[in-house]
Amino acid sequence: MDAGFTAFVFVVAILAAVGASLLLVGYVGTLPASFAFGWKNWVPTLLLPIGGPMWFAWRHWSDFSRPGKQLFAGVVLILVAVLILYKGGPYIVDRMA
């Protein structure tokens, strides 16, 4: 193992962990609040794990902009981690061989 592989794994792990944490915090911020707005708001929020809370935060942006931003940032960080893993992984493996 070299320093490049260690840095690669570290970056992917940190991006995934922070992204998952932001997704969880945003989900916890929107799910209980959606129950107060009636069943037409909490059913999609409960049944669609990522899209539902983002939809709820977008519909009630004035009150739930912070959880909406957390959800969006979490999704972006997870996507960046997956992109780095799948695009940079083969390069790192080829470099190690």
Phi-psi label, residue 48: left if phi above 0, alpha if psi -120 to 50, beta otherwise: beta
Enclosing domain of residue 23: 3-96
Number of domains in the chain: 1
Residues in the chain where the model's pLDDT stays below 50: none
pLDDT of residue 49: 87
pLDDT of residue 1: 65
**CA 79/CA 72 separation, integer angstroms:** 11
